[in-house]
Structures are given as structure tokens and as C-alpha cells.
Amino acid sequence: MSVNGLIDLSSDTSTRPTQSMYEAMVRAKVGDEQKRADPTVNKLCERVASLLGKEAAVFLPSGVMCNVIGILLQCDRGDVVLTDKTAHVLTMEGGAPAAIGGVMVQSLPGDRGIFSATEVEAAISKSPKKNIARTGLISIEQTSNRGGGSIWPLETIREISKVAADNDVPMHMDGARIMNASVASGLAPRDYAAGFDTVWLDLSKGLGCPVGAVFAGSKNHIEEAWRWKHRLGGAMRQAGVLAAAGLYALDHHVDRLAEDHENARNLVEGLVKVSGVESKWGVPDTNMIFLDVEQSGLDATQWIQALQAKGISVGIESDTELRAVTHLDVTSEDIEALIDAMTEISSDT
């Protein structure tokens, strides 16, 4: 339940620190992280680098900054980033690659946010002509947000990585929800990250931290990432109080992601009681459910208003789609409350 008293399934970014996480934050040893003298920040970066199988890592304020830095590190002005048509870096980051780095983003027609090696092969620029934009980077989003929390299959990643290597194009992973993918699939985060030059994971979504993300790559990439961190205003001084939340989450909030996935499945199963509403993609891979309300007699805005009147908040994707995201502040009882509320609303329509 959110601070305003709503059962909040609008996003897993609405999570709040648990009491135990707050206590870990209060106890944190701190220093000036800009001088790399904050011991808790350093410990978090070392741990995430190891988790993702990379040489080094840097703590950043947000996932958007991680994506921007990943692009700026590996692309020249005028280069093209290949990514899915629904990818967060293309649709939800304010045109940052172009605005900050002069880099273009080209969309690929993936399925639920997942494109193929064949599509990458066809899209990579191989022309020697200097008037043709160069492909500077391939980026994927794990899990795919607007693909309904879909998990990129490891075999697909490996096929794309081979195409990228054959064409000397680096790879970047927006790993905002890589831990959801790992828990749901049973594969280690480093397995998913292996084919990527840069990768990051978010702390402020399913892991329940108030702020932050950790960006990882080679030592050379991370040294240059520090330069961009300063340029973009990302230095956070005594950030150990935030890093301590990340360390606590890695110890206590990873395995429990399975509960979020189960709650998401239970929500979909409960939709049989709700007339005219169905899960757009059936049983979810992880913690995201996109609800098609086109046949319900209400549009998405009307559903939002009706649910808020019953103390429940969900997200809106379009006139006919809602999004519900499970997380550590959503219980199985909250899911039942949502199903009951939607059943009542549909029966009154």
C-alpha cells in the first residue's frame, strides 16, 4: 500500500524501503563517493560488478543516466543505436540520446520487445560510404517493460551477440529488471549479461530501494563512465546511505521477487471473474500485467477512476489498456482486493 493509502500497482517504482532497509541506511558508513572514498558505495559497486560478471561498476542516480552513459561511451555523434520499437530508451527517456549525445535511435519490429538476430543483421549498416550513418550500438531491455515484463531468451541474446561481434558493434543491456528475469528463469544475472559490453541493474524497482542504479562494464568503460557521471551531475557525495539500501536489497529482496511473479499470475487467473477484461499476453513472465479493457464497456480512464474510488491505483497504457505491476508492497490480499474491485465494477457496467 502506498503512502497515500492506495493499493498501488501503477509501477514497481512505487516501492518504499522496509523498516529493516531504513535501519541499514542509518548504519551506513559513508565518505565522499565523488572521491571514491565512500566504503558502502564501493562495496555495492564491487558486488554488482561480480554479480553481472564485469570488471567494475559505478553507482548512478537513475536508470536513464545509465542508458545515456552506455550510449555516450560507445557511440559517436551521428551514430545509430538499434533497439526495439517499444524500448524504454526510445519511448520513455525524453530523446536523451539525441539531445545529449547527438545519437539516433532506430527501432526494430520485435515481438513483445524482443527482436531477432535476423532483424539485427538486416538493420546493421555495412556501407563503407561516409554519408551513411554508422551503427554504433545494439541495446536490449531485460525484462521488456512494454512487452509485459517479457524475458529475453538467452539463446536469442547469444545469437544477437554473435551478429554484433561479427560486425564489430558493441552491445548494451538496459537491465532495469534483470533480477526479475533471473529469478523467473533460474539463470544467473551474469549469464544474461555475458554478451554485453555494458549493463546495469536498477535498485529502485523490484528491489525496493528509494534511489539508484549500478552500471557495469570493463575497467576502461567505467573510468570513462565516471567522467560522464560528473558531466551529467551524477555525483552524490555521501551516497553510502543509498548504497546501503542496495546492499540490503541484494541480500533480502532478490529471492522474494518470485512472490511478485506469483501474485501477477494470480491476478491473471482471477480475471475470469471480470467481464470484458483479459490479460493482453496471457500468463505473465514476471511482474507486469497489461489488461485489455476494450470489451468491458469502460475505457481505461474510467477504469482508473473507478478503481481509485475503491482505493486502488493502476497504470494506463492507452485508451483500452491498463498496466498492473506487482512488487514488494503488494500482497496476495491486495491482489484479491483488486480482483474483487474489478469484478464489482464490471458487474455495474
Q: Is the pTM of this model over 0.95?
A: yes
In a domain, 1, yes or no: no
**What is the tens place of the pLDDT at every residue in 54-63?**
999 999 999 9
Going across the sheet that includes 104-108, the strands are 56-60, 213-217, 198-202, 171-175, 135-141, 80-84, 104-108
> Could you tell me if residue 134 is inside a domain?
yes
In the predicted model, residues of the chain with pLDDT beneath 70 are: 1-4
* 98 and 215 part of one domain: yes
**pLDDT number for residue 132:** 94
Which residues are CB-contacts of 123 (< 8 A; sequence separation ≥ 6)? 82, 106, 108, 135
Is 12 part of a structural domain of the chain?
A: no
Q: How many CB atoms lie under 10 A from the CB of residue 24?
A: 21
Q: Based on the fold, state whether residues 120 and 148 are members of the same structural domain.
A: yes
Beta bridge partners of 174: 141, 200
CA angle 118, 152, 191 (to 5 degrees): 105
pLDDT of residue 349: 81
C-alpha dihedral sign at 87, 89, 90, 93: positive
40 and 176 share one domain: yes
CB atoms within 10 A of CB 166: 10
Residues 74 and 146 in one domain: yes
- 81 and 127, same domain (yes or no): yes
Q: Domain of 342: which CATH number?
A: 3.90.1150.10
State the CATH number of the domain containing residue 21. Answer: 3.40.640.10
From 252, 269, 288, the end of a domain falls on 252
State which residues form the domain around 207: 17-252
Identify whether 2 is part of a domain: no
Question: What is the model's pLDDT at position 126?
Answer: 87
Residues 282 and 317 in one domain: yes
**pLDDT tens, 68-108?**
999 999 999 999 999 999 999 999 999 999 999 999 999 99
Residue where one domain finishes, among candidates 221, 252, 283 = 252
- How far is it, in rounded angstroms, from Cα 281 to Cα 269? 13
Domain final residue pick, 218, 252, 286: 252
Residues 108 and 179 in one domain: yes
Same domain, 236 and 322: no
Check whether residue 264 and residue 248 sit in a common domain. no
pLDDT in the model for residue 348 = 86
Number of domains in the chain: 2
Longest dimension (CA), the chain: 64
Would you state the pLDDT for residue 119? 98
Together in a domain, 263 and 206: no
292: left (phi over 0), alpha (psi -120 to 50) or beta: beta
Q: What is the pLDDT of residue 2?
A: 58
Alpha carbon distance 270, 338 (integer Å): 9
